[in-house]
Structures are given as structure tokens and as C-alpha cells.
Amino acid sequence: MREYHLSKTDIERIMQRIRDGWPKDVGVSRPKALKIIEMDDGSIDDNSILICEEMILVVKDGIILPFLTMHILGSFPSITVDMGAVRHVCNGADIMRPGIIRMDGFDKGSIVTVKDERHGKYIAVGVARVSSDEAIPMSKGVIVENKHYVGDRFWEECKRRALI
């Protein structure tokens, strides 16, 4: 595991990826400094945590995701799952159509947050495999590929470092 500060060029590249991949109404300002924790011997683009004074980001499979404790999660489309699905989602399972009780509108490939039905707490962030319009009539199948969830290695590393 490596930890270091990113250059201004790398920070700008990360910010451009956020502007391109996140909803337009998510207000993320360019940080002065950005630290990376590489979870594997890899690159910035895979299995990393990005930390600055006001945000924590997860980079998984080349996608930059907001960490589950971020205040900006409400700006992303969300899916609410029944309590029977929570345990599975928090163990890394993808979000399947039968467990979904509500969903916002989203496009295929969008970043989508996942909440539990009882408390409305965010339990996962993933990438939509189908659009919400395609998902509504489905009775089974994967709707969102789970990328970051409560209890995953990113969560545990941030907890170990007292960031959450």
C-alpha cells in the first residue's frame, strides 16, 4: 500500500473525470492538495482512495465514486432496497431488481447510490447496468453493479485511519 500526494496535473485530470462522469449539479471544487492511498500495487485508476480536506473518493475499476459518508450523495440518483437485500448488498452483491422498492431516474452507466428502506442510509454506490426506464418493467436481473459498500476494503481502511 502506497500513500502520496498527487501533482497539480493529476489533480486536474481527476477533476476533469469527475466533471465528465458525475451529475452536473454536484458541486465539487478543485482541492489544493489531494492525497492518494493505493490499496494495491497498481495505478491511480484502480483500487485507490483519494482524500482532501473536504472529500473522500474511491477509485474502482477506473471509475471515481463518492465515498459513502459524503454529503454530495444526495445529488446522485438513488435506489432504495428492501431490508432483505441490505445484508447481501453490504457483502458486495450487485443490486438485483427483486430487492428494489423505489428508484430515481438514471441512465445506463450512471453512478447510482443505494439506500436501505428503513433508515434511508446509504449502503452502497455502483454503476447502472441498465437505465431506470429499462429496469422498471424487469422482474429479475442486475440493475446496478456494486462498486463500493459499507464494510468493503475502502470503508475499513478509512475507518482504520479514523477518516469516518
Low-confidence ranges of the chain (pLDDT < 50): none
Q: What is the rounded distance in angstroms from the CA atom of residue 72 to the CA atom of residue 98?
A: 27
Please give the grid coordinates belonging to residue 58: 474511491
Q: Are the beta carbons of 149 and 90 closer than 8 angstroms? A: yes
Secondary structure (DSSP) of 67-117: -TT-GGGGGS-EEEE-HHHHHHHTTT--EEGGGEEEE----TT-EEEEEET
Query: Residue 43: its pLDDT value, please?
Result: 61
User: For residue 88, what pLDDT is reported?
Assistant: 97
- How distant, in Å, are the alpha carbons of 3, 19, 31, 52, 60 from that of 126? 25, 17, 24, 22, 10
Helices (H) and strands (E) in the chain, counts: 4, 11
For the chain, state the CA radius of gyration. 16
Residue 45, pLDDT score: 67
The residues near 27 (Cβ < 8 Å, ≥ 6 apart) are 72, 75
Q: Residue 41's pLDDT is what?
A: 67
What is the architecture, at CATH level 2, of domain 72-149?
Roll (2.30)
Mean pLDDT of the chain: 93
Q: For the chain, which residues make up each domain, given as ranges?
A: 2-70, 72-149
Q: What is the DSSP letter of 46?
A: S
CA distance 13 to 138: 37
